[in-house]
Chain A
């Protein structure tokens, strides 16, 4: 390959689409490293603290797309204190200096200030796409800056962010000359936008294919919008309550009938069940349906709807669909690849909405299923074994039995055998979340069989250090391990310290790891950041110098080239 001119090598590298492949070829030799880094257009940084922003910009000067992730996954469940970190500003500043031709920025679980959005809006003349997922720290003022200054913006996708509403009519800030939008998602915003401005915006953006509205948009407005965007492929409705009489409703039905390209539907806040009839005409074309924010639609109505959706590939629902509803999904949606069933009654006991029966039904009807997130009240080993047999193609399997540590209700046994069957059967499994009563045995199975596993989430499971060690020694592709409330201590933590440099991160909270153990790890592995996170509530209770025997409440370990970070708050100690 050294005889080939660089242009040829570069051309060959163009065929490498995955980041991993490109990372690997860049380590072959200096020449390849050089060619690769100059031709890299898309950069993915899985942990914002693993590398300094400036270094990324220096290495990849031709970068057009940048993705950065911040907080650890358990931050989604309030396990990471609010000011832990994950700031977007340093990345945007570095990009503004080093890669002004940046076109796309994707951030996940990061703190994004209005200041950073304003800087972003002004620094990149070719900026085309901004995707913010589970971020916080900005307000509608920041969005106004984006709308005002990003000429040629194609995509503004805000997914599940915490955005403060400053009442600014940010949407009206898109200039009349803006006609380039292809994707607009502001479903997570709480405030109102000017309906007229929105209708005019979507009307002039003739390439608009994806539009996700927020709850404040009325059905009447939706009908008018749909009339202007008949080529829409993805739609997130606003609030779906029909206020008065038949007229708006009829208009809506007609508008839906004109949208022949609609493949994906979501939203449906506040929907009244009888309004669902308005979408029956589109259902046969749907490949994606998200009804997980519509608790008013109970089983019977859900079922009526689902019976029309035979092309469905991705379905997100609430557990009010019940086992019977899932049986209907199984018999109707033969193309189903991804299913998520969320709990509708989080705090109450309620009646068992979905159980192992629903899952078994799905597995026997939907053989293409490869991704599952299932919240249920109970699960049995027998069911999991059946599911494993029926669906050997799982790449993502996340089961959450709502009652922590609950055994198989039929046999009173732990669910080791059930999950064991899953990892044995699903050879391509990349992501696994466990729940229910589990002993060290399940980890033995995971270590032995889950060869492709990249991410593992453990809660209230295991008996001893052996469990964690099985996983660390066994899963050679493990990248992220997150554990809470499990009896793993220093011995497990220190058993295979080299492993952590092959992984992105390790999270342990409410386990048996001590401060001494963390210090030992930090001492042995200088290229890891070992963060000890103290709950801010405890700061009064904590002694000045806690002894090494003191159990650590939360620990986050990650490999890094950047050394200890300098933006850590008081309650984070980096060893």
Chain B
């Protein structure tokens, strides 16, 4: 659905708190004196008489392309959601965006798991090398350099945010690290069918 576009946007480097879309404004969530919200908003948005012009842009067409709402997002206490709930959802988001993107790595047959920080690697090659290094003591043997290679003993797979088991390497790296929840090194015999190249 909207996953591709959104996940790319999620991985964009920009300033601002996680979850905000407005790079220009720092997240100021305190209203001062008699002002209700950020001054710019009064003109753009929810004032009374100048509603019609801006709302025409917003009301129709593609809601994805709206600009103004991003600036409005910083009104104190709006939308009216209990902090407890906001924090719960926010914590989930922040988990992925905090410094380091740690995911568990399991390997079939290994007695314990490892954890790696995906943000440390620049691409798939580095990731494979790191995994090779990490798990070689569990006798990986011939580490597959290409996915779906018949004759390789293991395949590297990952669980994405929908809970599906995917083969590592199909999607662009940025998209991969934003959707990867954990890694699993599977025995080749179980991995048949995952190879996409035949």
0/1 per residue, B14-51, Cβ < 8 Å to A?
00010111000000001111101100000001111001
On chain B, the residues within 8 Å of A167 by CB distance are: none
Which of B32, B45, B46, B70 is A535 in contact with, Cβ under 8 Å? B32
A378 to B59, CA, bound (A): 8
A175 to B72, CA, bound (A): 52
**Given A407-B51, A437-B51, A510-B31, A484:B77 Cβ within 8 A:** yes
**What is the distance, in angstroms, from A72's C-beta to the closest C-beta of chain B?**
12
Residue of A nearest to B5 (CB): A351
Which of A352, A410, A538, A551 is B63 in contact with, Cβ under 8 Å? A352
On chain A, the residues within 8 Å of B88 by CB distance are: 269, 293
Are A351 and B64 closer than 8 Å at their CB atoms? yes
Q: Which of B78-86, B115-123, B128-136, B142-150 contacts A (4 or more CB under 8 A)?
A: B78-86
Are B80 and A76 closer than 8 Å at their CB atoms? yes
Which of B19, B55, B162 is A406 in contact with, Cβ under 8 Å? B55
On chain A, the residues within 8 Å of B32 by CB distance are: 535, 537-538, 541
On chain B, the residues within 8 Å of A20 by CB distance are: none
- Does B89 sit within 8 A of A, measured CB to CB? yes
Are B162 and A343 closer than 8 Å at their CB atoms? no
Query: By DSSP majority rule, is chain A's interface helix, strand, loop, or mixed?
Result: loop
Are B79 and A410 closer than 8 Å at their CB atoms? no
Are A79 and B162 closer than 8 Å at their CB atoms? no
On chain A, the residues within 8 Å of B84 by CB distance are: 134, 160-162, 188
Give residues 514-547 of A contacting B (CB, 8 Å).
Answer: 535, 537-538, 541
**Given A298-B162, A348-B21, A349-B66, A537:B30 Cβ within 8 A:** yes
- Does B2 sit within 8 A of A, measured CB to CB? yes
On chain A, the residues within 8 Å of B60 by CB distance are: 409
**Given A77-B80, A405-B46, A409-B60, A349:B70 Cβ within 8 A:** yes
**Given A406-B46, A485-B36, A134:B82 Cβ within 8 A:** yes
On chain B, the residues within 8 Å of A484 by CB distance are: 77
On chain B, the residues within 8 Å of A293 by CB distance are: 85, 88-89
Are B79 and A343 closer than 8 Å at their CB atoms? yes
- Does B73 sit within 8 A of A, measured CB to CB? yes
0/1 per residue, B63-100, Cβ < 8 Å to A?
11010011011011111111111101110100000000
* A–B Cβ pairs within 8 angstroms, 8 of them: A78-B76, A272-B163, A293-B89, A295-B89, A346-B19, A346-B81, A403-B46, A485-B37
A→B interface (CB under 8 Å):
74, 76-79, 134, 160-162, 188, 244, 269-270, 272-275, 292-293, 295-296, 298-299, 342-352, 375, 377-378, 400, 402-407, 409-410, 412, 433, 437, 439, 457, 459-460, 463, 484-485, 510, 535, 537-538, 541, 551, 553
Closest 4 CB pairs of A and B: A405-B46, A409-B59, A77-B77, A272-B163
Additional pairs, 20, CB under 8 Å, beyond known A407-B59, A412-B56, A535-B32: A77-B83, A162-B84, A273-B163, A296-B163, A375-B79, A378-B59, A400-B79, A402-B79, A403-B45, A403-B46, A405-B45, A406-B46, A409-B59, A409-B60, A437-B55, A459-B78, A459-B80, A537-B30, A537-B32, A541-B32
